């Protein structure tokens, strides 16, 4: 048998793909670490009953418990605080300006290497539940089998939209679950999706799995389910930077957060009952935040903390630190290489993001020690298409905007002493040296990621003929 025939045989035996040496070792030898990845839509980092400068009133006891049991990253930022761009950043480890996913409702190019593909090649069953929003304009849209699922071999969800009480969830074969009897109109979608996740975990408890759960709330519409519309608008305490705030909207946003906290608690109970708690990496994050009138801004897509600063909590008993707050900077593009590293897998060379796991590990193995802990305290970069770029380095955030096509410095904040970003230091003579250093760092990010800003990056296609 020649080498070509041998490779074909290996590929056929593995279900159509060739395992790398590292993946092969994991597949036939070492015990796998399962992964339960949970993504919320439009959940800002401060909307918890834990953490510094958190929103008053909101209660999230199950997420508080996870933060006490695992690692809470206190300085995680969305690479691009909008749904499609940051969802693409999470699963590719690349900036939206690199992939072309620079606005909503684009299709992720087929050339992009994604996290589920790596897990699948290592013997994992990869399952996706919920909103996808990386398959073009179709709404709700069924994401068909094949390359458009980006390594997720099974799928129960839809492309885009927010339908919390009339979910358009499709089966793996594209049949609306409302017609199969699996979903009943009026049922709260996140509760239904949590049931789907628990069922998948039960069915695969003896096999390594990567289960990705994508909830729609607390994104608008702010309409919490029965039993969770519990916050009195009169009790709302606005953040100091709120302009013309709406107490009713914020109260209902908090209700959605608490409803998801309840569903998260159900997932954690299921892992414990199935004996999977100690061998499952649980990750919770969001695609972006929600300003809700901080700085007079609605919703997302801005560099302000309420829009760009997102939650990140990880738990893996014995492997990750217990009850640790990690202050190292981390971006959405770092999630793919970090998660793969914790599971003993190597990130593909396509990733721009860095493995940040060293800051969270209980101890580092010889294999861990052999890999550089590059970038644990480096700056991070964030963007919005051709509109603005931001760099966060140390305790400072620096923002430039495209004004009449010219890159212009517009914001400089000391986040340690001004967490609500109410004192703009940009262009002040006493901070000229600091601003120069931050601008140099921003330019370095542009250069190493081929960012054409202030020009608008090339946009990914709505659909691809592949």
Task: Say what percent of the chain tops pLDDT 70.
Answer: 90
**Long-range contacts of range 183-190, CB-CB < 8 Å, 24 or more positions apart?**
188/164, 188/225, 188/259, 189/163, 189/164, 189/165, 189/215, 189/216, 190/164, 190/215, 190/216, 190/217, 190/259, 190/260, 190/263
Q: What is the DSSP string of 176-190?
A: BHHHHTSS-TTS-HH
Q: What are phi and psi of 89, to 5 degrees?
A: -60, -40
What is the pLDDT confidence band of residue 378, given thresholds at 50, 70 and 90?
confident
User: Region 93-112: what's the mean pLDDT?
Assistant: 98
3-state secondary structure of 137: coil
Task: Give dist(CA 140, CA 132) in Å, integer.
Answer: 10
The encoded tokens of residue 167 equal: 């979910």
Q: What are phi and psi of 272, to 5 degrees?
A: -65, -45
CB 40 within 8 A of CB 283: no
Element (H, E) at 286: strand 280-286
pLDDT value, residue 365 = 55
pLDDT tens digits, 204-213? 999 999 999 9
Element (H, E) at 280: strand 280-286
pLDDT tens digits, 151-200? 999 999 999 999 999 999 999 999 999 999 999 999 999 999 999 999 99
Q: Which of 32, 10, 433 is nearest to 208 (CA)?
A: 32
CB atoms within 10 A of CB 181: 7
Task: Give dist(CA 39, CA 215) in Å, integer.
Answer: 6
User: Is the confidence at residue 332, as pLDDT, over 80?
Assistant: yes
The answer for residues whose C-beta is within 8 angstroms of residue 102's C-beta and 6 or more apart is 80, 85, 96, 385, 456, 457, 459, 460
Q: What are phi and psi of 201, to 5 degrees?
A: -65, -40
* Torsion over CA: 437, 439, 445, 450 (sign): negative
Mean pLDDT of the chain: 92
For each of the domains in the chain, give its residue range(s) and CATH number, in order of start: 21-370 (3.40.720.10), 380-448 (3.30.1120.10)
Task: Say what percent of the chain tops pLDDT 90.
Answer: 89
Residue 406's DSSP bridge partners are 403
CA distances in angstroms from 462 to 53, 82, 320, 345, 375, listed in the order given: 40, 17, 39, 32, 34
User: Is the confidence at residue 5, as pLDDT, over 80?
Assistant: no
pLDDT value, residue 466 = 82
DSSP summary character for residue 135 = B
Task: Give dist(CA 312, CA 331) in Å, integer.
Answer: 10
Task: Give dist(CA 307, CA 289) in Å, integer.
Answer: 4
């Amino acid at each position: 048998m020649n080498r070509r025939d041998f490779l074909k045989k290996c590929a056929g035996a593995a279900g159509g793909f060739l395992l790398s040496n590292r993946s092969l070792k994991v597949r036939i030898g070492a015990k796998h670490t399962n992964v339960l990845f949970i993504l919320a839509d439009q959940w800002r980092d401060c909307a918890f009953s834990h953490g510094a400068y958190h929103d008053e009133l909101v209660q999230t006891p199950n997420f508080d418990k996870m933060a006490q049991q695992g690692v809470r990253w206190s300085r995680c930022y969305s690479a691009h605080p909008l749904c499609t761009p940051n969802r693409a950043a999470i699963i590719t480890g690349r900036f939206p300006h690199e992939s072309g996913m620079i606005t909503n409702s684009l299709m992720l190019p087929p050339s992009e290497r994604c996290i589920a593909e790596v897990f699948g090649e290592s013997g994992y069953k990869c399952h996706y539940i919920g909103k996808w929003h990386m398959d073009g304009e179709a709404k709700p849209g069924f994401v068909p089998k094949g390359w458009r699922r980006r390594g997720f071999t099974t799928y129960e969800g839809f492309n885009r939209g927010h339908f919390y009480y009339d979910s358009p969830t499709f089966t793996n074969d594209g049949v609306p679950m409302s017609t199969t009897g699996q979903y009943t109109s009026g049922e709260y979608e996140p509760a239904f999706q949590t049931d789907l996740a628990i069922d998948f975990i039960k069915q695969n408890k003896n096999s390594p799995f990567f289960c990705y759960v994508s909830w729609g709330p607390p994104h608008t519409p702010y309409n919490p389910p029965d039993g969770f519309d519990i916050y009195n608008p009169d009790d709302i305490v606005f953040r100091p930077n709120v302009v013309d705030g709406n107490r009713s909207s914020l109260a209902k946003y908090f209700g959605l957060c608490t409803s998801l906290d309840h569903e998260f608690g159900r997932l954690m109970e299921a892992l414990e009952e199935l004996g999977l708690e100690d061998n499952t990496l649980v990750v919770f994050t969001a695609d972006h935040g929600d300003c809700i009138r901080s700085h007079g801004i609605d919703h997302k897509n801005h560099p302000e903390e309420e829009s760009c600063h997102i939650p990140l909590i990880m738990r893996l008993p014995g492997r990750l630190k217990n009850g640790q707050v990690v202050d190292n900077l981390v971006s959405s593009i770092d999630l793919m290489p970090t998660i793969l590293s914790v599971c003993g897998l190597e990130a593909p060379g396509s990733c721009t993001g860095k493995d940040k796991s060293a800051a969270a590990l209980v101890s580092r193995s010889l294999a861990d020690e052999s890999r550089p802990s590059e970038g644990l305290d480096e700056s991070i970069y964030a963007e919005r298409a051709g509109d603005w770029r931001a760099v966060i380095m140390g305790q400072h955030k620096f923002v430039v905007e495209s004004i009449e096509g010219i890159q212009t410095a517009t914001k400089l904040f000391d986040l340690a002493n001004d967490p609500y970003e109410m004192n703009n230091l940009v262009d002040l003579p006493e901070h000229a040296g600091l601003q120069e250093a931050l601008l140099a760092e921003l330019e370095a990010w542009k250069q190493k990621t081929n960012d054409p800003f202030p020009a608008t990056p090339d946009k990914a296609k709505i659909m691809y003929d592949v």
